[in-house]
Amino acid sequence: IGIDLGTTHCVLAYTQVDLIDDQEAVIHIFPLPQIVSPGEVKAQNLLPSFLFLPGPHDVPQGSLALPWNQEAEGVVGEFARKRGAEIPNRLVASAKSWLCHSGVDRNQPILPWDSPPETKKVSPVQASAIFLRHMVDAWNHQMAAEDPSARFENQDIYLTVPASFDAVARELTVKAAQAAGIEQLTLIEEPQAAFYAWVEAQ
């Protein structure tokens, strides 16, 4: 499984590794179920990298329920981006960029940045873990419902990171992945991943 934990969008792709004879590997994009409007779940190829942390009156009660989580307190993806644009002090954006921001404690709940003290906050590491956890849960709900061996945590996971990430940002990315239940993890720099994609396309 390949994960692009992007600054603006996340993408999940997968392929079969136990090929037979001359069988050719096929790369699939996994459509990620997400809230697109209150009470409506839709699978889309892109998961916008936005986390909305609603207050008690910001969304109708129960409208953020997902098939695998009926009691969600926050929401990621399409609806998070739309509702967060209306209430920006409850929106976490660019969490990936915060992971490499050496001027802040990236383990402390500082996001949404500049939000009022009473606002619920998360750390950049927590926010990244929430995006990854959404992908893990979506995969397990859809791909492993009848086959425990297909569960996300049993797969080999490749996660892209920017070439500009230093050792600390990489370590924090691994920490976020572990918090999301991902253990078998390999980090790949984005230019390297792009090169592999070009080679495959040729």
pLDDT tens-place string over residues 49-61: 999 999 888 999 8
pLDDT tens-place string over residues 132-150: 999 999 999 999 999 999 9
Residue 114 is predicted with a pLDDT of: 86
Residue 20 is predicted with a pLDDT of: 81
Our CA dihedral for 194, 75, 37, 14, rounded to 10 degrees, sits at 30
Spatial contact of 46 and 8, defined as CB atoms under 8 Å apart: no
96 closest CA partner among 10, 7, 166: 7
Question: What percent of the chain clears pLDDT 90, i.e. is strictly above it?
Answer: 83
153 closest CA partner among 161, 143, 165, 162: 143
Neighbouring residues of 40: CB distance < 8 A, sequence distance ≥ 6: none
Cis status, amide bond into 31, omega within 30 of 0: no
